[in-house]
Amino acid sequence: DRYETEFLSLSIPQLFVRWSKWRIALEKDSLDYRISEVEKRIRLLELLALACDNLKVIFDALKTMDPAPVIAKGLKITPDEANIILDRKVRQLSRLDADKLQGDLKVQRAALKELKAKRKNPVSEVLEFMRRAQSFFEKNEVYTGTNLWLGTSKVAKTLVHGVDEESADAESDDSEG
């Protein structure tokens, strides 16, 4: 399987426009994926919260030959969801903390709301990315009339050491004190 490759003769503005369209599409795909993962997590937490509130039904069903249909009927859930509950160890089920689950649900729902807001306008996310990327460079006007851009020390720390901006700043503060 070979890839089709096409070389294009583009000006810098044309290249930037093509890259921007690609980057916006990538941002949409990324946000769609992240939204689906958070929605899956919310569904699991809701199921575990339901199980936490109905431990008696689950423990009674464990005494039967085929507990999945009993749990599904008792909790009004699908057999697949009942099997997800049954895949948990009894010890895990008895230790489920309703307050912690509700707290986790609140966090996940807030994250979902934020992701959906970003998904409505992925262009703003790409622009923010560009602003952050621009902060890694500073204009160097050593030669009049030139537009040279040099990487800042943040770029060097990130590229050489794989350290993000906050970690690099914290490390430099630690080394000074």
Mean pLDDT of 65-89: 93
Band (pLDDT 50/70/90 cuts) for residue 168 is: very low
Question: Which one has a higher pLDDT value, 108 or 93?
Answer: 108
**pLDDT at position 134, please?**
80
Whether the per-residue pLDDT at 71 is higher than 80: the answer is: yes
The neighbouring-strand residues paired with 138 are 150
Which pLDDT tens digit goes with each residue over 99-133?
888 999 999 999 999 999 999 999 999 999 888 88
Contact 47/81 with Cβ under 8 angstroms? Answer: yes
Mean pLDDT of 140-149: 69
**pLDDT at position 169, please?**
53
Which pLDDT tens digit goes with each residue over 5-64?
888 899 989 999 999 999 999 999 999 999 999 999 999 999 999 998 898 999 999 999
Q: 3-class secondary structure for the chain?
A: CCCCCCCCCCCHHHHHHHHHHHHHHHHHHHHHHHHHHHHHHHHHHHHHHHHHHCHHHHHHHCCCCCHHHHHHHHHCCCHHHHHHHHCCCHHHHHCCCHHHHHHHHHHHHHHHHHHHHHHHCHHHHHHHHHHHHHCCEEEECCCCCCCEEEECHHHHHHHHHCCCHHHHHHHHHHHHC
Whether the per-residue pLDDT at 174 is higher than 70: the answer is: no
Question: Which one has a higher pLDDT value, 41 or 1?
Answer: 41
**pLDDT at position 164, please?**
57
Lowest mean pLDDT among 68-72, 88-92, 102-106, 112-116: 88-92
pTM: predicted TM-score of the whole model, two decimal places = 0.71
- Tokens encoding 2: 């070979």
Whether the per-residue pLDDT at 137 is higher than 80: the answer is: no
**pLDDT at position 33, please?**
98
Which pLDDT tens digit goes with each residue over 150-161?
666 666 566 555
136 CB-near residues (< 8 Å, 6+ apart): 151, 152, 154, 155, 158
